[in-house]
Amino acid sequence: MNKFDKFLSAHGMKIVIALLILGYFKSCSIDSDVNRIKKDLRATEAEIDTLASQMINTEEMTKLIKEVPAWNTLRIEEISDKERISINALEQKEGK
């Protein structure tokens, strides 16, 4: 125990200062981590806001489905398969 007391009396202040410096550096890194996480959160919230503004409602989606030619083609193909009528005949029938 005597050796331990001598060691602490000789080097105790150095150990305390080293621990304080390590604690200070650790607190600085935590702050930078928090700032980085806040920055990432702001970017994510901005992305969510832009995606939310781009959403369309049911009426707009129904209108798009009815007006886009690819959907019309799919509908005609489905009807021709279901009723066993050629696609050309259905397209001519639709054109009238």
Listed by start position, the domains of the chain span 1-55, 56-96
pLDDT digits (tens, 9 = 90+) for 81-96: 666 666 666 566 666 5
- What's the pLDDT score for residue 85? 67
What is residue 55's three-state secondary structure?
coil
- What's the pLDDT score for residue 38? 92
Q: Mean pLDDT check: name the lowest of 5-9, 22-26, 58-62, 83-87.
A: 83-87
Cα gap 69→74, rounded to integer Å? 9
Find the angle CA(36)-CA(42)-CA(45) to the nearest 5 degrees: 140
Instruction: Write the CB contacts of 71 (distance below 8 Å, at least 6 apart in sequence).
Output: 64, 65
pLDDT digits (tens, 9 = 90+) for 27-78: 776 777 788 899 999 999 999 888 877 777 888 878 877 777 776 666 666 6
What integer is the mean pLDDT of 10-16? 90
Cα gap 11→20, rounded to integer Å? 14
Cα gap 22→28, rounded to integer Å? 10
